[in-house]
Amino acid sequence: MTGPLVLALDGATYAGSVALIRGADVLSEVTLKDVDGGIPQAGRGERLLPAVAECIQRADVRASEIKRIVCGSGPGRFTSLRVAGAVAKGLATGYGVDLHAVSSLLLTVSAASPALEAGEYLSVLDAMRGDWFAAHVSISADGTVEQRGNARLVSAAELAALLSANPNLRAIGPGQSIEGNPHARGVALLIARIEAEGPVDLASWEPDYGRLPEAQVRREAALEGPLVR
């Protein structure tokens, strides 16, 4: 195993994840729901840092060996993405290393277990209110995983129509024909791509939430207008 030690985090869903990676090898991984067997609820960000510590312990490495941080950039759940992003920025600042970002929808495909065969996939995540975040992801014959275009927000009807019109496009995500969720271990297959894209700016970077948080939507509906004019 060669290459710098990478700490990866993803918070696109409440069942967030952490992984330590060297080269293309996953040294250790932790899913937040594994901590006590239950899915953490929104705002339970206190579980993320202990999961990082557990991952470091399982891999039998020192935190000082970590040379870069990679964080799932969303889209996904607003609160958990915000927590993961804040933790990633804090760790990158504390360790004095670069922070990189990668699409959480891409991580769903690259983290699939067992690994997916070459083909075309539509990676989706529940966006609430009957909508889905979706991104077209390709896996080439040599195992290269690439996202085709940006993630977009689609209705359930639009999702069904898209899959019906493209029979070679297989859906992967919660409740889909291929069950899956974003996971930090998926960074291992994307290291070269992530390094080529370069780090984000620590001061200005935020995850791609995909849409306004549910609490803000409800508040603006009650006020019959935006909170900020």
Model pLDDT, residue 224? 52
Model pLDDT, residue 229? 46
Cα of 17 vs its chain's centroid, Å: 9
Bridge partner residues of 139 (DSSP): 119, 145
Stated pTM of the model: 0.89
Chunked mean pLDDT (size 10), the chain, 229 residues: 92 93 96 63 69 96 97 95 95 97 98 97 95 98 96 97 96 96 97 95 96 54 49
Neighbours of 77 (CB within 10 A): 26
- Integer Cα distance of 75 and 207 in angstroms: 7
Model pLDDT, residue 220? 43
- Integer Cα distance of 127 and 74 in angstroms: 11
Model pLDDT, residue 166? 96
Model pLDDT, residue 215? 46
Neighbours of 148 (CB within 10 A): 10
Model pLDDT, residue 118? 98
Model pLDDT, residue 228? 47
Which position has the token pair 């937040």? Answer: 32
Model pLDDT, residue 105? 98
Dihedral sign (CA 206, 209, 210, 215): negative
Q: What is the pLDDT of residues 99-136, one digit of tens each?
A: 999 999 999 999 999 999 999 999 999 998 899 999 99
Model pLDDT, residue 41? 52
Q: What is the pLDDT of residues 47-60, one digit of tens each?
A: 899 999 999 999 99
Model pLDDT, residue 39? 53
From the list 166, 79, 181, 194, the residue with the least C-alpha distance to 123 is 181
Asked if 27 contacts 59 with a C-beta cutoff of 8 angstroms, the reply is yes
The CATH class for the domain spanning 5-115+180-223 reads alpha beta
